[in-house]
Amino acid sequence: MFIALSTFTIANDMAAEVRQAFKNRPHMVDTEKGFLKLEVMYPQENENEIWLMTYWTDEESYKVWFANHYKDSHHGIPKGLKLVPGSTKVRFLEHVCG
């Protein structure tokens, strides 16, 4: 299993709006080849930091989705959202057991 972990920090007190946008997301990625699930979370010590974990059967499926549909998946982002400069990170993980 391949996992993409994206993290970012909200700069302008819109954390509640961002969390709601994820709850109301259009689920476009759900039918993509190789997609397994999406988890959205934040650390208790910083509600402005958002972690997105997408789970895929393989890295190639993620790459195809990213190349073709990544921008479309961001249409629900709240207007006026600002991120802390340099806070956006993407890490790729291989699942070992669980």
Is residue 67 assigned to a domain?
yes
Nearest alpha carbon to residue 13 among 79, 74, 81:
81
Is residue 13 assigned to a domain?
yes
Is residue 98 assigned to a domain?
no
Q: What is the pLDDT of residue 77?
A: 84
Q: What is the pLDDT of residue 27?
A: 87
Decide if 57 contacts 34 (C-beta within 8 A): yes
Task: Spell out where the chain has E strands.
Answer: 2-9, 35-41, 49-56, 89-94
Decide if 54 contacts 29 (C-beta within 8 A): yes
pLDDT in tens, 19-56: 999 999 888 899 999 999 999 999 999 999 999 999 99
Is residue 31 assigned to a domain?
yes
* Structure tokens given for 33: 């080849």
Residue 12 above 90 pLDDT?
yes
Is residue 76 assigned to a domain?
yes
pLDDT in tens, 71-87: 677 777 889 999 999 99
Is residue 46 assigned to a domain?
yes
What is the total count of domains within the chain? 1
Is residue 37 assigned to a domain?
yes
Q: What is the pLDDT of residue 70?
A: 66
Beta bridge partners of 51: 7, 41
Q: What is the pLDDT of residue 51?
A: 97
Is residue 36 assigned to a domain?
yes
Containing domain of residue 26, as a range? 2-93
Residue 53 belongs to domain with CATH number: 3.30.70.100
